[in-house]
Amino acid sequence: MPTKTVNLSTHFPLSGRARPGILGMVLKAYSIWRERQCLNTLDDHLLRDVGLTRNDVESETNRPIWDAPNRWMR
């Protein structure tokens, strides 16, 4: 009997459109945390390129995950 392949991304998308409910909130919080951690890995030269200082990054990475600008929540 042949097996059926299911594309889980159509049932549980991890990016793109907004996800309602608790899963959406958890995924958004994780995304914010991950982006802040990636920002923290940039060296000072790259930070200058985007107009940030090491103090800006430290301040941003120390913020709680629920403290994000409204434009990030789209």
Q: What is the dihedral of CA 61, 17, 73, 54, to 10 degrees?
A: 30
Q: Does 40 have pLDDT greater than 70?
A: yes
| Over residues 59-63, mean pLDDT | 91
Q: Where are the domains of the chain?
A: 20-73
Q: Report the share of the chain in percent with pLDDT over 70.
A: 66
Amino acid, res. 31: S
CB 68 within 8 A of CB 31: no
Q: Is the pTM of this model over 0.85?
A: no
Q: How far apart are CA 52 and CA 15, in angstroms?
A: 27
The predicted structure's pLDDT at residue 5: 52
Q: Does 27 have pLDDT greater than 80?
A: yes
